[in-house]
Structure 1
Amino acid sequence: MNVQIFDGKNENWLTTKNPAQLAAAMVDGNIGLAPVSWGNEQEKTGWYHMYQPQEITGIQIRDRVEDGNIVLRIPDNWNGKLVAAGIPATRGETSTDLLFSDYVLAKGYAFVASDKGTPGKDKEGDPFAKAKNALSIEGASLAKWNRQFRATVCYAQEYLLTHYKTVQVASEIPTYGMGISNGGYVIRYAIENDGKNGEPRLFNGAVEWEGVLWRAEDPNLITSLTKVIQSAKAALYDGNSEAVHSLYEAGLPKGTEFLWPYHDQYYWFLTLNIYRDHFDFQAPKRLQWPEYLALNEQGIRDRSHDYIFEKYSYAKRPQKVKDKVKEIENTGELTAPLISVTAAYDALIFPSVHAYPYEQLVKKAGKAKLHRHYVIENGNHIDGLVWNENVDPNRKLQPMLPYVYQAFELLIKWVEDTVNPPESHFVHAPTEPYKITNLKTKQHMNPLTTQG
C-alpha cells in the first residue's frame, strides 16, 4: 500500500489541478476521453467551462487488489459516501480522472477506480505498466473484471470504515457507480448481481455511459463488428452501396458516416479481435495481438488481415464459445437504480445492439421502475472527437459528459430524496453551440462544472 498526503502545498492537490495528478490522468491518451476540443479557452465555454478542478486536500492510496491496480482518493471534506468508477476498454485506474474523479471529489465523495484486474507488465516487471491488450495476459478475463470491481469497492469501503468511522458513518458507506463503455458493462453487471450468492449489498445506484451489452444468444459486440469488418472496405473505399447497407444492418446509426473512417482506422478491427479472441480463443486464423492495429508506411491501418473474418460466424462456432459469454452476460435484473446515457451516434457500441436491447432486457426482468435511459442526439462514443477538426470539422457532434453529470445529480436525488428522475426519452441537441439540454426541463443550459 502506498499512501500519499495531498496538503495543497506547492500545488499538491488531490485533483488534476495538481500537475502531477494531471500527468497521471493523461497517460495512454486518456485526454481523448474528454471533450477537450469543444469550447473556447479564452471565453471559458464548453470544456473550459466544465473543467475547473478544485483545490482539494486529502489522501490517495495506491494498492493491489485481486492482482489489479487501484487508486482510492479521500478528500479532507469527505461526505461519508463513495463513487466507484468503471474503467473503459483495457485502460488503467487513472483513465477517468478527468471525467469522474475531479467532479465527485469536489462534491466531497471518496473516489475509487481499478484497472479491472487486467494489468500488463513491462520488461522490467513494473506492475503499474499497461499492456495494449490486457486481455492477452494469462488469467485475464471479463469475469475477472467483475470480481475485481467488486473487490475494489469492498477494499474502499473497508478502508473508509476502518480509518474514518464516525457516528455518521457507523456501519455502511453509501456507494454509487459511474462507468463508461466496457466500464459501463461492469457497472451494469455489478448492479445486476449485487447481493447475490449470499454476498452483502454494496451499491445504492449507478450511472452507466454507453455500456457494452454482452449476451450469448443475441447480437453482441462480436457479431456486430464481424459484419462491419466484412463490409467496411467495400463501403468506405469502393463505394459499394450493398456494403453500405450491410453496415446499417450491422447496427451503425444513419448519420454517422463521417465517423466511419476514423473508427475503421482505429477501433473496429482492434476491438473485434480483442474480444473475439478472448471468448473464441480457438478461432481460425487468429493473429498475435500486436497485429490488431498494424500500420503501413503511410500510417494507414494494414487491411491485409481483414480476410480472417470473411467467413467467420459467431453463430456457427462451438457452443462452448457462447457458454463463455453466457458466464458474464447481462441479465437486466437490477438491484438498485440505474441511469443509462446513450450516444445516438455511437459508431462503436451501436445503440440498436447495446442500448435499446438492454432497456428491453430490464423491462423483461420486471425492473423498469429502477431504470432510466436517456439517448443523446448527436452524441458519439468518444467525447474527444467532438469538434475535432479532423473528424468533426462541421461541429455536428455534442459531448456526452455533461449529460453524465446531470444523470449523476438525478441519481442522487432519486436514491436519497426519492425524487423520480424524468422518464426515459430521446434528448434533442440544443441549437446554441456551447449549451446542453436539461434532462428534466428540456431547456438549454450551461454544462455543469467540476466545481462541486
Structure 2
Amino acid sequence: MRLSPGVPFAAAVLTAAALTGPVPASAAPAADDASCALHERLRVPGAARQQSACLADLTTTGLAGTPYTDPADQAGLTAAGTRLPSGIPGIQIDGYFPDTSHVNATHGWRHDAQFVIRLPEHWNGGLVVTGAPGTRKQYATDKAISDQVLARGYAYAATDKGNSGTDFYRDGDRPGDAVAEWNTRTTELTRAARRVVARRYGHAPRRTYITGVSNGGYLTRWQLENHPELYDGGVDWEGALWTTRGPSLLTSLPATVARMRGTARDEDLYAVGFARGSEFLWPYHEKAYWGLTQKIYRAEFDPAYDPACPGASAGGTVEEILAPCASDATYDYASRPGAVHRAVARVALTGRIGRPLITLHGDMDALLPKAADSDVYARMIDASGRGKLHRYYGVEGGTHVDGLYDTYPDRLRPILPCQRSAFDALTAWVERGTPPPPDHTVGRPATGDVVNSCSLDGAESARR
C-alpha cells in the first residue's frame, strides 16, 4: 500500500516502471575493501539470474541516481525529515529466482521474484530480511529499513514477493495464489541469503531477524508462525491481517466504498473499526487508497464476485486504477461461498508465533484500522498461548504511511522511529534476555524530534 501526498499510488507505479535499464558496472563508486574482489564468486542458491557489485556506499544516499535503488518505489513511506545514515561500503547482489510472471521491469529484466542482498564490509554477524509493502518492489524499504540496519552492521535482503503492481492479482492459476507466493518467496530468499552470508563472511548469521511494514508486516507474522526455525524474532509494523472468517480488509473496506458512493454513514465506518478522530484522513484515502485496495484484493480472493471489475487489469490510467468497483459497496465477505473463504485460509494467520514478535500499529491508520487488525492479532496470539512471545505497542498519531506526517505534523507522528526503537528492544530481548516494556500506547510527545526519536518506555508512553 503505497500512496503519499503529491505522489498518487498509480502515478508512482508508472514512474517506477520507468526504471528499466540494466545495471551498468560504473553506476556507483566501487568500495576499496580487498574482499570485494571475491564478490563475483558469491552465488545465490536457486537464483536464475544475478549480478553483483562492490560499492562505496550501500545506502540510499550513496546510491542516489543509480539503478541500485528506486526512490519512486519508496515514495510516502518515510517523513521528509527522516535522518538517514550513509557511508556503508560493501557488496550488493541483485537478481531473480525462477518465476512464470514478468511484471517487475527493474533493471530491464521484466521478471518477477526479484531480490536484493546487501553485505556490508563491517558485519555484526546478523541478517535482516523483509518483503515489499503493498504492491511495491524490492527497493521499497531501502530508506525505511535497509539504511538503518546496514549502518548497524547487519546484512540485508529484500524481495518483491514474486508479483507487484496493481494487477498483482492476475499472477497464479487460482484465487489466493499471488498472496501465497509472497510467503514462499520470503522463505526462499531467507534461506538463500543465509547461505550467501555464510559464504561472504565465513560462517552463517548468528541472528536472523525479519521486519516489514504493511504487507511486509503480514509476512513477518506469517514467517514467525510457519518458519520460526529460520528467524530469531521480528518487528511487525502495521501488518495486514488475513483471517479465514474475518476480520480482514475485505470486511472493513466495503464500508469505505459505500461511503464513497454516498450509501454509508460515518457510523458505518466506525462499526468496522475505523477510529473516531481519523476523519481528517478520509478524503485523501477516498481518492487514493480505499477503492483501489478493495477491488484488487477482492479480485485476488473472490474474482467471481464481479468478473467485469476490475477484470483483466485494474486500469490503464491513474483515474481508472484508483476508481472503485461500484459492486464492492455491498460486498459481504461473510456470505460469500466457501471457496472464497478457503482461498483466504491458504494465507490466513493463526497467532501461533514461534519466535519473539513486536507489533506496532498507529491509532490513526485509515487503511488498516487498528481495531480490526493488530488489536485482533494480539488477541489471537494470546488465545494461542503465545502471549509471552509478543509485545504490542499502539502509536498515538501514527497512520499507515509516514509521508502523511508532512501534511499533518500537528496531528500525526511517524512510526518509523518507533520501529527502530522496537528493533533495538527486540535484539535486546533475544540476545540479552532483556524483556521489552509491557504492552502500551506510545504517546505523541508535545516537543522534541518526533520524526527521528521514539521512546517505547519513556515519559511519552501511557499504559493501554
Give the TM-score category using the shorter length: 0.7 to 0.9
Offset at 1:443? 4.9
363-372 or 153-162, which deviates more:
153-162
Q: 1:172–1:301: structure 2 CA closer, same or farther, 3 Å change rule?
A: closer
- Equivalent of residue 264 in structure 1, options 286, 294, 298: 286
Q: 1:21–1:159: structure 2 CA closer, same or farther, 3 Å change rule?
A: farther
Percent identity of equivalent pairs: 34
Letter of the 1:71 partner, please give it: V
Within the alignment, does 1:151 sit opposite 2:188 as a pair? Answer: yes
Offset at 1:162? 2.7
- The aligned counterpart of 1:341 is 360
Question: TM-score, length-normalised on structure 2?
Answer: 0.80
- The aligned counterpart of 2:447 is 432
Q: 1:265–1:143: structure 2 CA closer, same or farther, 3 Å change rule?
A: same
Q: 1:22–1:415: structure 2 CA closer, same or farther, 3 Å change rule?
A: farther
> Which runs of 5 or more residues in structure 1 are unaligned?
40-46, 120-130, 196-200, 236-241, 445-452
Contact 2:169 2:299 in 1 (8 A): no
Counterpart mapping for 1:245-394 below 5 A: 245-284=267-306, 285-288=308-311, 290-291=313-314, 302=323, 306-388=325-407, 392=408
Tell me the C-alpha RMSD between the 2 structures.
Answer: 2.2
- The aligned counterpart of 1:91 is 136
Offset at 1:230? 1.4
Offset at 1:433? 5.5
Alpha-carbon distance in structure 2 between the residues aligned to 1:429 and 1:22:
37
- The aligned counterpart of 1:186 is 219
Q: 1:396–1:23: structure 2 CA closer, same or farther, 3 Å change rule?
A: farther
Alpha-carbon distance in structure 2 between the residues aligned to 1:28 and 1:253:
30
Within the alignment, does 1:141 sit opposite 2:175 as a pair? Answer: no
Which secondary structure does the structure 1 equivalent of 2:75 belong to?
helix
Alpha-carbon distance in structure 2 between the residues aligned to 1:145 and 1:301:
23
Which secondary structure does the structure 1 equivalent of 2:211 belong to?
strand
Alpha-carbon distance in structure 1 between the residues aligned to 2:434 and 2:74:
34
Alpha-carbon distance in structure 1 between the residues aligned to 2:246 and 2:435:
31
Alpha-carbon distance in structure 2 between the residues aligned to 1:65 and 1:59:
19
Within the alignment, does 1:175 sit opposite 2:216 as a pair? Answer: no
Within the alignment, does 1:217 sit opposite 2:241 as a pair? Answer: no
Alpha-carbon distance in structure 2 between the residues aligned to 1:143 and 1:30:
24
Letter of the 2:284 partner, please give it: Y
- The aligned counterpart of 2:50 is 2
- The aligned counterpart of 1:114 is 159
Alpha-carbon distance in structure 1 between the residues aligned to 2:322 and 2:119:
43
Alpha-carbon distance in structure 1 between the residues aligned to 2:350 and 2:312:
30
Contact 1:7 1:58 in 2 (8 A): yes
Counterpart mapping for 1:389-428 below 5 A: 392=408, 395-428=410-443
Q: Which runs of 4+ in 1 moved over 6 A?
A: none
Which secondary structure does the structure 1 equivalent of 2:410 belong to?
coil
- Equivalent of residue 58 in structure 1, options 85, 90, 102: 90
Which secondary structure does the structure 2 equivalent of 1:277 belong to?
helix
Question: TM-score, length-normalised on structure 1?
Answer: 0.82
Offset at 1:70? 0.6
Alpha-carbon distance in structure 2 between the residues aligned to 1:212 and 1:188:
9
Which secondary structure does the structure 2 equivalent of 1:386 belong to?
helix
- Matched residue count: 394
Residues 377-420 of structure 1, C-alpha deviation per residue, up to 9 Å, x if partnerless? 011001111022xxx2x621110000000000000000000000
Alpha-carbon distance in structure 2 between the residues aligned to 1:294 and 1:395:
34
